[in-house]
Structure 1
């Protein structure tokens, strides 16, 4: 069996300046000097082609620095240093946005001849496509407000992380746990009694701190609503646009989920009758092992590469290379937050993946998921750009790639399970995962949607937010569970992402899209090439348009989504027939 000693640690030495924080901070200072100079130049004259190329290079360097910061959060780096670093990075991004805003304002004031002459001097086609130079473009007031909103939201996200990371949960009379440790115990400990105790103590602690989290969330939502008011758009419009889909497509997806919710609810009810001690939201969401199935890290890598080879050998070879080159840090450490992440280094053509591997099927699934993100980043265009990855990367597309990898892996393990008991155990895990993607995340979407509506009228206190959280979960789960969690809105960082409002629904979208893609992989000729082209088009065209271009499917119509849901129903039927 693998132990933490045998689990791989990532190689950070060839990124930035490794763990030399002083050199890293000096590098950020150097970028700041160049950015201030560019920002000043942008105030008096339209930036020259050489200056735009420099700005593009600065953007890539800032992106790499931000990804490296996320890697540092799992290492033994002092919290005050991390706070200083992310503050510097946020300020650098603000300088970029201001410089681009200044340029766009100057271009708007040019006459046709001047503008035409300036455009002729620009050799990078991406630059002209990305700059908003039309007369009817955003006003200066709108751009100033957007820049202010981005910087303030980033600060509030950092405040949330700091407050959360300083939480201490007394899980034993003489022992305190960090937020990350308490979350891991509550959702992953093999003993139910200890999971339940950790969950209770964590919630008690969060309740005592709920007012400050309510204040942060109210402020973030208020800032977004005010920005939307100036721009005269609905609060969901920006999210849909950044995800490359229409409201019609989102509704088509949710309609498919809702039309099959009874089948999902029936499975939950049937499970409740068989396991009366596991009919709560908490136990349904736990990733603790419910049987004897275990998988070491090396076995997981073998199964992931084998499963992907049948669809696209390039994917399989990519995974092998990522592991061998030291992209993955699988060692459990208290400094790591729950779950995992994939930090992209687009300019360097690499990624870094963090997770705490514990030989469970869930940790193997997470590994596949994060490798799917890395594959997506590898496909993305590396040409010069004036946009940050955050502004170009559609979360719907990103989650489709990552969940596609994990779905391919899980289906492969199910097919090759030699014993019926093991097959049933893994199939059960897959179904419960679908409940998370389609019911739990549906609850998060309902919560966010209604919170925005209510926030228009004024701030909500902690108790009101807790009540709204419970109400949304009950609706999403069809009132099938014994009890729910009033503090989901505090536990998950997705609610506090500065750059991504309504972060939750892309997971549901990506889950169903990945299931549909897996069906297409069985039917479509040259699926591997089409899928790579789909991913490489991220940010160039809306996802809906790309999907129609490469697979000739209209996602705004219900057929694709209903077909994906039927695959989940078949999983439930298969589970029910297994002895």
Structure 2
């Protein structure tokens, strides 16, 4: 009985990589060796700057070193991220993160010099190099690096900016994590006041009890208000750093970097948002029906992700895992086998406990060919979706592990494709296997809520961030003005359909503070709709589609999204047809919900 309850552990295994956590002597040795090898690589590149070479053997050796160091940096970075996430008070882990940031900055400076060498190489020599059989598999990322080098500052200036970013730009992002990690939300439960982490409090926002949701929402906002000045400064300095760097690079659009990072054209982005905006009417009908079911005139922000079921059904972790494995197996037995390995070998940290950072993620230990998944599991339908989502990320990486490291770097928008595809498999199966009409309604509504997130919530984030950068380019933006911009964006994105909005969402959302790339929003919506189109093909073609799906995932690191869609689906993403077809599938879910809740 006991072993059955503990079939799958909710705590991940990090010792398999480096025993001892943040005190691991093996990890310190790993970092020391990585630091030495990074220094040696930099010396090698500096030598090539003094004496450029056209010998393909020399360049092949250089690129092999680049890929090896990239794998090891990924390994070290993943370990540190896991340590800091599982315990936000782990001060040793924070120090390791700082040291790793310096190593990463040094490596990036070397890569910047390498890119400059690529740029200075005569075009005939460059083309001849890429045509060689050893280089053709990595030709796309190499061409991309050369093009980007032409659009940036000279190598020394870019290296300086990268060095300064460690204790400037990235440090502001680290500060946000520290602030959120120490925050506690007082919550009265079972006759006593508990001090909840942000992640634990956020989980209660999906409670079926409106009094609970409203109370937690306002307690959270009180906590964000107390930190408003510091968080506003943090956001302003992150934005200011980016804008200054863009100004020196002579970039005239704040969207240049996020679009380029996502290998996506502005035409595709504009078409996607235009089609979404024209199709929000049916979601507003869903809001009206949901408000009726919840017994309110209009939904408030804290009602958006509330379940309509009268009783909240709690699912055990083992039960959730078994269900996910069963549904993955229907699509592709290999996908299920992989996910079972992740559960069995403790790749997942899901325990609901204080001290963890909020949210969920999947990270890759490239040197070991493994992934790790982080979340807080409380037994809700949304938690099951998150678990399937992160397993989708891990599977995406799994099918690419045998490719050269340089073509494993897929962009965020196509990364979200694999994760939301996995969600669709699980959510549709949940709806089909529902044992009652009420359960079917609840599960269908949970699925539609994700459409709300991608079409409305994330649209609000995109609008806010666009306008924030417009105003930040003219000077600092006050906390009061940030709240105004946030509510304006929410009202526009939600078509002014809510009774109460979230003025502190700019402070509450981690994604605004991630330094890896700005506009950590629209790629989610792209991935959701792109995967919806893929999922439609899967339903039409049956089991034969599994191989096509893997082939598409394997190409995600070596072409633009427009080329990817045309090659594997035969569609043009700059035209509305594909997007409308994906949204039509969402509309069918809403129609079904409206019919069931008459």
Relative to the length of structure 1, the TM-score reads 0.91
Q: Does 1:228 align with 2:281?
A: no
Picking from 313, 337, 355, the partner of 1:293 is 313
Deviation at 1:85, TM superposition (A): 1.3
In structure 1, the partner of 2:592 is 574
In structure 1, the partner of 2:412 is 395
Conservation of the 8 A alpha-carbon contact between 1:16 and 1:65: no
Distance 1:115 1:265, change over 3 A: closer
CA distance, structure 1, for counterparts of residue 420 and residue 459 of structure 2: 17
In structure 1, the partner of 2:430 is 413
CA distance, structure 1, for counterparts of residue 123 and residue 528 of structure 2: 47
Deviation at 1:409, TM superposition (A): 0.6
In structure 2, the partner of 1:262 is 281
CA distance, structure 2, for counterparts of residue 164 and residue 339 of structure 1: 12
Conservation of the 8 A alpha-carbon contact between 2:300 and 2:500: yes
Picking from 111, 130, 142, the partner of 1:100 is 111
In structure 2, the partner of 1:481 is 498
Conservation of the 8 A alpha-carbon contact between 2:360 and 2:374: yes
Conservation of the 8 A alpha-carbon contact between 2:151 and 2:249: no
Distance 1:522 1:479, change over 3 A: same
CA distance, structure 1, for counterparts of residue 594 and residue 183 of structure 2: 42
Q: Which runs of 5+ in 1 are unaligned?
A: none
Task: Provide, for residues 354-382 of structure 1, a one-character-per-residue CA deviation record: whole Å limited to 9, x for no partner.
Answer: 22222221111111111101011112254
Q: Which runs of 5+ in 2 are unaligned?
A: 53-57
Task: Provide, for residues 248-285 of structure 1, a one-character-per-residue CA deviation record: whole Å limited to 9, x for no partner.
Answer: 11122112211111111122123223424472111213
Deviation at 1:480, TM superposition (A): 0.9
Picking from 56, 59, 79, the partner of 1:68 is 79
Task: Provide, for residues 523-572 of structure 1, a one-character-per-residue CA deviation record: whole Å limited to 9, x for no partner.
Answer: 24732122111111122111221121011111111111111111222112
Deviation at 1:386, TM superposition (A): 5.6
Conservation of the 8 A alpha-carbon contact between 1:280 and 1:482: yes
Distance 1:51 1:18, change over 3 A: farther
- SS of 1:344's equivalent? strand
Q: Does 1:308 align with 2:325?
A: no
Distance 1:64 1:287, change over 3 A: farther
Task: Provide, for residues 112-139 of structure 1, a one-character-per-residue CA deviation record: whole Å limited to 9, x for no partner.
Answer: 8997999899955566654545795644
CA distance, structure 1, for counterparts of residue 150 and residue 89 of structure 2: 47
Conservation of the 8 A alpha-carbon contact between 2:187 and 2:194: yes
Q: Does 1:532 align with 2:541?
A: no
Picking from 129, 151, 154, the partner of 1:140 is 154
- SS of 1:16's equivalent? coil
In structure 1, the partner of 2:571 is 553
CA distance, structure 1, for counterparts of residue 320 and residue 193 of structure 2: 37
Deviation at 1:154, TM superposition (A): 2.0
Conservation of the 8 A alpha-carbon contact between 2:153 and 2:249: no
Q: Does 1:246 align with 2:260?
A: no
Q: Does 1:166 align with 2:182?
A: yes
- Once the two structures are superposed, the pairs formed by residues 495-534 of structure 1 within 5 Å of their partners are 495-524=512-541, 526-534=544-552
In structure 2, the partner of 1:544 is 562
Conservation of the 8 A alpha-carbon contact between 1:399 and 1:511: yes
Conservation of the 8 A alpha-carbon contact between 2:88 and 2:355: no
Picking from 34, 38, 59, the partner of 1:35 is 38
- Once the two structures are superposed, the pairs formed by residues 358-507 of structure 1 within 5 Å of their partners are 358-385=378-405, 392-507=409-524
Task: Provide, for residues 28-59 of structure 1, a one-character-per-residue CA deviation record: whole Å limited to 9, x for no partner.
Answer: 12211221232233223259444543342122
Deviates further, 71-80 or 358-367: 71-80
CA distance, structure 1, for counterparts of residue 415 and residue 123 of structure 2: 39
Conservation of the 8 A alpha-carbon contact between 2:89 and 2:355: no
Aligned-residue CA RMSD (Å): 3.0
Task: Provide, for residues 69-117 of structure 1, a one-character-per-residue CA deviation record: whole Å limited to 9, x for no partner.
Answer: 1221244585321211111121111111111222333455567899799
Deviation at 1:329, TM superposition (A): 2.5
- SS of 1:253's equivalent? helix
In structure 2, the partner of 1:9 is 11
CA distance, structure 1, for counterparts of residue 384 and residue 266 of structure 2: 34
Deviates further, 537-546 or 293-302: 293-302
In structure 1, the partner of 2:55 is none
CA distance, structure 1, for counterparts of residue 473 and residue 330 of structure 2: 51
Deviation at 1:305, TM superposition (A): 2.5
Deviation at 1:7, TM superposition (A): 4.4
CA distance, structure 2, for counterparts of residue 7 and residue 159 of structure 1: 31
CA distance, structure 2, for counterparts of residue 119 and residue 261 of structure 1: 46
Deviation at 1:424, TM superposition (A): 1.1
Deviation at 1:162, TM superposition (A): 0.9
- SS of 1:310's equivalent? helix
CA distance, structure 1, for counterparts of residue 593 and residue 441 of structure 2: 6
Q: Does 1:335 align with 2:351?
A: no
Distance 1:113 1:409, change over 3 A: closer
Distance 1:411 1:174, change over 3 A: closer
- SS of 1:45's equivalent? helix
- Once the two structures are superposed, the pairs formed by residues 186-201 of structure 1 within 5 Å of their partners are 187-189=205-207, 191-201=209-219
Distance 1:290 1:86, change over 3 A: farther
- SS of 2:331's equivalent? coil
Distance 1:571 1:61, change over 3 A: same
Task: Provide, for residues 468-492 of structure 1, a one-character-per-residue CA deviation record: whole Å limited to 9, x for no partner.
Answer: 0011001111111110001111111
Relative to the length of structure 2, the TM-score reads 0.88
Distance 1:5 1:168, change over 3 A: farther
Conservation of the 8 A alpha-carbon contact between 1:57 and 1:384: no
Deviation at 1:420, TM superposition (A): 1.1
Deviation at 1:296, TM superposition (A): 2.5
Conservation of the 8 A alpha-carbon contact between 2:8 and 2:346: no
